[in-house]
Structure 1
């Protein structure tokens, strides 16, 4: 489950980062920075999910 969620999240992160980088030439700097920040956060979370450091379904291991 984590691998599937991580792959989906990494695709969304790549889309956000590419969209933010392509719109840097326009005058909307706030939206631009928000897209880059959202992409970076999504990329970080997807890396945590893919490596297994963060496991949201491991509540039974207490």
Structure 2
């Protein structure tokens, strides 16, 4: 389940990041927020793909 969520988030984050760079070249502040959002989604995607973050584990009670 984690790998599937990570694979779904990866293209979304890359697209968000690229759109943020394009908007940032036009000197708009919204581009900076899209770049930050894209980087955060990339971090979450990498955590899900590597298995470091497992939201479905029940071992912590």
User: TM over 0.5: same fold?
Assistant: yes
Q: Which consecutive aligned stretches of 4+ in structure 1 deviate over 3 angstroms post-superposition? A: none
TM-score (norm. length: structure 2):
0.90
2:24 touches 2:30 (CA, 8 Å); kept in 1? Answer: no
Q: How many residues align?
A: 60
Q: TM-score, normalised by structure 1?
A: 0.89
| Equivalent position of 1:45 in the other structure | 44
RMSD: 0.9
Structure 2 runs not aligned, ≥5 long: none
Structure 1: 5+ residue runs without aligned partners? Answer: none
